[in-house]
Amino acid sequence: MNHTELLGLIAGLFTTVAFVPQVVKIWKSRHAKDISLAMFAIFSTGVALWIVYGFTIGSLPVILSNSITFALALAILALKLYFRD
Residue ranges per structural domain of the chain: 3-82
pLDDT tier, 82 (very low <50, low <70, confident <90, very high otherwise): very high
What is the CATH number assigned to the segment(s) 3-82? 1.20.1280.290
When pLDDT is averaged across residues 57-73 and rounded to a whole number, the result is: 94
C-alpha distances in angstroms, 35 versus 32, 56, 60, 85?
5, 32, 30, 12
When pLDDT is averaged across residues 11-27 and rounded to a whole number, the result is: 91
Please give the pLDDT value at position 12. 87
Q: Has residue 68 got a pLDDT over 70?
A: yes
Contacts of residue 76, Cβ cutoff 8 Å, sequence gap at least 6: 19, 22, 23, 26, 32, 35, 40
Contacts of residue 9, Cβ cutoff 8 Å, sequence gap at least 6: 1, 60, 61, 64, 65
When pLDDT is averaged across residues 58-83 and rounded to a whole number, the result is: 93
Please give the pLDDT value at position 84. 83
